[in-house]
Chain A
Amino acid sequence: MTGRQAAPPIPRVVPRSGSVGQASVAGEFAEKIAGGLAYAADRYEPGMLYAKVVRSVLPSAEIIAIDSSEAERLPGTVAILTASDVPHNVVSEEASGLGMTVIQTPVLASKRVRYAGEPIAIAVAESPHLAEVAAESVFVDYEPLDGVYDADAALLPGSPDVHERGNVLADWNLASGDVDAAMAAADHVVVGEYFTQAVDHAYLEPEAGVGWIDADGIVTLQVATQVIEHATEIAALLGLPENRVRVIATYMGGGFGGKEDMTVEPFLALAVWNTGRKVQMVWSRQESLLARPKRHPFTMRYRTGVTADGKLVAQDIDIVGDAGAYPYLSPRVLFAGAVTAAGPYRCENTRIRARAVFTNNVPNSAFRGFGAMQVTFGYESQLDRIAATIGADAGQVRLINFLDEHDSLPTGEPVPTRPAVAATMEAATQALSEVERKEPSATLRYGRGFGCSMQPYGRTVFFQDRASSWVGFQADGTVIVRAGVTDLGGGQAASLGQIAAEVLGVDPENVVVHIGDTHLNPLTGGTFATRQLYMSGNAVLKTAMELRETLADVAADLLGVAPSHLEFGGSAVSAGDSRLTTAEWVRACEQANLPVAHMSTFFAESGDFDPRTGKGQTFPDYTYGTHAAEVSVDLETGVVEVLAYIGCHDVGLAINPLRVEGQIQGGVAQGLGYALSEEIITDNGTNQSVLFADYLMPTSREVPDIIPLILEEVPGKGPFGARGIGEPAIAPVAATIASAIENAIGARPTELPITPERILALLEERHRPGT
């Protein structure tokens, strides 16, 4: 094993010209507000075809026969495609990244279906209605098979196997110190079990895209996706060279990880390839709720040994995550859960086991927080339980256990940068203490609580992540940035413009950013894992710095100073009182035969992890935070209302504070749904939550004004010392709400979502004699 290899250094720049660190509403936002921005489903063309997926109605069955003859005879049907029409009918992903697991997922099932909603065929027709009717007219003859619908049950001997190789998809084991000895020597051993549920991303834009074959014969897909690099997988399933498939990402109507795996892409590609015509595919909301991967339900079992004064001396943690029927990103999600399962707390003797288990439920995959979010509910509930057990203050127990910069993680690797989690706890709880307290009434109880978290940003270092960008001047001094990032609405593109503007000293409105096109932009990797600011932000910073350095000599000569004395700002290069406009500088560089555009690649730090020993390097860094909230609980109805909410994170440096606030506020609202109301309910593999009317995401009435607190305590590894904020914002919410509810009613919810029924059950349990 080699050690962690640091990323090659980028010259550090202190933001000075005022582009970075300022609230900005630049970019596409004005067009979004005016209703003019075209999303993936907004592209209509005469003669376009429409495609619809035929999905399994059973969760576990053998396919005896597929009869598409009636569908093919219908007027308006152009094609019915089944497995035999797919050149290479498999999406094969080595999902762990460490050579552990290869399970092949068919694009279209032909012999066996493993979940209700699994794709079997594609109907292509002249209108959306005709495609729907054709899809409904494909008859599938099934022989039902036994299935397994619960991850714990799937681990039992004799349980039906979802795949031939057995039901354990991934089994991660991390260990440090001597857990058994330390546990035996502990003053107290605190045991807790915590349960989380499956939830849907519920972005408001359902999965959509159009595809066509362009004049050069390139298969082109314009889709709502977080990852344009899926172009290579599409090429593989069509049997084409990788440069014959182009993916263009539209601005997404939300993603949250749900557009990280492919959605419409393989079906669109097959429809286009088989018909030669332009095809649109838009999933209905109900199809999206039925068949898109959800967030993994986790069962988390914690045993923690503590000293009498609350110091953690041993942790034994077991996590079981329901992967559903196919791997998708489950091994990685459970890996992130394992690495962060002990939270931002020091414990020298720690054993963590995290398993991803196949069931015949809809597959689960990436969702904002990616495993590290579920475990926050586990470790924070456990910390509160420890405080209650030893009769200590919950904040004090945390303070004596918080990780500091000299500590190691359970993988044996040092903490990457100093965790300022204590500072976030102080800021969040202080802000809540300034909210006026309410007097309890006959039926309402009020409570306050908080929760802390650590959330990785960036991909695990063994993926050797990289991102490229291109930055070029026009002759008039304006700037073009090209980078293959995708934009979910977090301002991903706009922040790259701010970074280029900062380095080159031009106004942000003079920078145009082109994103999301595999054939026209340098590739950056997808927008997921809170990696985009870290990766493409560093790429644009590096590219712009190298371009500036190449061209600085020309300005230095003209201004008669050394290059190190140049200032870049206000669309000019200056040295003292003498200045060149950016346009003058660029023209001088062109006359000197210097390139005024440049492409470069940022390589993230790399490292190795050994799954046999559980030791090695994992994530580049973490974003820490604390949330605090006040709730009311109605003792008669069990209804919880959130009255005040503060979300605080150390973001290192906020490139665009307005967008950082937006990420925190939005993450909290999504987290409140997770905490209190949202759940995909299944009954023996049949999804009962396929209507938006049945899926209770928070409306404006359920969300209080969310107060974001941005700390800039410890520089992170992103551009200008920024840390990612996309995922961290959702992690502490459920634990925070559970803590506030416990404070209100004296009983701790351990199962999500915390519905009124569960509150009433907790109240009843509390009043039962002998408990």
Chain B
Amino acid sequence: MPSPARMGPAVDRSKVEFVLDEEPVEAWVEPNQTLLEVLRTVLGHTDVKYGCGEGVCGTCTVLFDGDPVSSCLVFAVQAGGHVVTTPRGAGPPDEIAALRAAFLAAGAAQCGFCTPAMLLTVHHLLMENRAAGREDIRSGISGNLCRCTGYTKILDAVEYYQAGRRTGSGSA
């Protein structure tokens, strides 16, 4: 999908190359374009959401070399040579599938707008700490706002996931 920015008058663009969800990608970007904007409009990743542009709401969270960042606060050119992971591309696939199944079973989404980034953050916390429990996740997701669920069912989902892992039934 072409960038909307390319429809305008000529501006200085530079080529940025990075690894996106395990695939090498390249994009021609303007110096003031954020990683969020390029992911959404150039690379088709609308699972990364714009919510505030201030790094407050967490809906644009991606993993940058494995750590969660607000992609609205990163210039696209800064991604050059790095590894970026989006909610759709996080892995391993069976872990993601199990976590998604737990979110679904718990009813952990309402409007769904915060959900991909919320799930990515929870996934990251669980990969960092396999034993993470309800209170660990409650602290860990405080950078991802949710306006619909009151967070309770998101934490329920974590418990479903952990219970599934213990019994071996959670990896769908």
Asked if B119 lies at the interface with its beta carbon under 8 angstroms from chain A, I say: yes
CB of B145 within 8 A of CB of A697, answer yes
CB of A33 within 8 A of CB of B1, answer no
Q: Considering only CB atoms, which chain A residue lies closest to B140 in the complex?
A: A700
Binds B, one of A322-330, A564-572, A600-608, A662-670: A662-670
CB of A701 within 8 A of CB of B138, answer yes
Asked if B149 lies at the interface with its beta carbon under 8 angstroms from chain A, I say: yes
CB of A662 within 8 A of CB of B49, answer no
| A491 to B46 Cα, complex, angstroms | 22
Interface residues of B in 80-98 (CB under 8 A from A): 86-88
Asked if A41 lies at the interface with its beta carbon under 8 angstroms from chain B, I say: yes
Binds A, one of B12-20, B52-60, B161-169: B52-60
CB of B47 within 8 A of CB of A35, answer yes
Q: Which of these, A44, A50, A489, A668, contacts B110 with CB under 8 Å?
A: A489
Asked if A125 lies at the interface with its beta carbon under 8 angstroms from chain B, I say: yes
CB of A253 within 8 A of CB of B111, answer yes
| A38 to B112 Cα, complex, angstroms | 10
CB of B53 within 8 A of CB of A284, answer yes
CB of A669 within 8 A of CB of B56, answer no
Q: Inside 8 A of B78's CB, which chain A residues have their CB?
A: none
Q: Considering only CB atoms, which chain B residue lies closest to A24 in the complex?
A: B107
Chain B proximity of A368: nearest CB distance (Å): 11
Contacts A29-B104, A34-B100; A206 near B32 (Cβ below 8 A): no
Asked if A7 lies at the interface with its beta carbon under 8 angstroms from chain B, I say: no
CB of B113 within 8 A of CB of A254, answer yes
Asked if B114 lies at the interface with its beta carbon under 8 angstroms from chain A, I say: yes
Asked if B5 lies at the interface with its beta carbon under 8 angstroms from chain A, I say: yes
Asked if A90 lies at the interface with its beta carbon under 8 angstroms from chain B, I say: no
Residues of B at the A interface (CB closer than 8 Å) are 1-2, 4-5, 7-9, 30, 32, 40-41, 46-47, 49-54, 56-57, 59, 86-88, 100, 103-105, 107-116, 119, 137-139, 141-155
Asked if A290 lies at the interface with its beta carbon under 8 angstroms from chain B, I say: no
In the assembled complex, 25 residue pairs joining A and B whose CB atoms fall closer than 8 Å, in A order, are: A25-B104, A30-B100, A32-B115, A33-B103, A33-B104, A33-B112, A35-B115, A42-B40, A76-B8, A205-B49, A252-B111, A285-B52, A286-B53, A488-B111, A489-B113, A489-B148, A661-B107, A665-B152, A667-B150, A669-B149, A699-B142, A700-B141, A701-B139, A705-B155, A706-B150
Q: Which of these, B32, B57, B87, B142, contacts A692 with CB under 8 Å?
A: B57
Interface size class of A (residues with CB under 8 A): 35 or more
Q: Considering only CB atoms, which chain B residue lies closest to A704 in the complex?
A: B152
Q: Which of these, A205, A253, A286, A703, contacts B151 with CB under 8 Å?
A: A703
> Beyond the given A35-B116, A701-B138, could you list 14 further A-B residue pairs with CB under 8 A, ordered by the A residue number?
A35-B87, A44-B4, A126-B7, A130-B8, A205-B111, A285-B52, A285-B53, A489-B109, A489-B113, A489-B148, A670-B147, A699-B145, A700-B146, A706-B150
Q: Inside 8 A of B148's CB, which chain A residues have their CB?
A: 254, 489, 662, 666
Which of B7, B30, B144, B154: most chain A CB closer than 10 A? B7
Asked if A48 lies at the interface with its beta carbon under 8 angstroms from chain B, I say: yes
CB of B5 within 8 A of CB of A666, answer no
Interface residues of A in 280-311 (CB under 8 A from B): 282, 284-286
Q: Inside 8 A of A701's CB, which chain B residues have their CB?
A: 138-139, 142
Contacts A44-B1, A204-B51; A76 near B9 (Cβ below 8 A): yes
Asked if A46 lies at the interface with its beta carbon under 8 angstroms from chain B, I say: yes
| A203 to B148 Cα, complex, angstroms | 8
Q: Which of these, B1, B5, B53, B113, contacts A205 with CB under 8 Å?
A: B113
Q: Which of these, B41, B54, B109, B146, contacts A33 with CB under 8 Å?
A: B109
Contacts A29-B109, A29-B112, A693-B54; A700 near B4 (Cβ below 8 A): no
Chain B proximity of A100: nearest CB distance (Å): 34
Q: Inside 8 A of A33's CB, which chain B residues have their CB?
A: 100, 103-104, 108-109, 112, 115-116, 119
Q: Inside 8 A of B51's CB, which chain A residues have their CB?
A: 204-206, 285, 692
| A703 to B135 Cα, complex, angstroms | 12
| A475 to B141 Cα, complex, angstroms | 47
Contacts A46-B7, A126-B7, A130-B8; A697 near B147 (Cβ below 8 A): yes
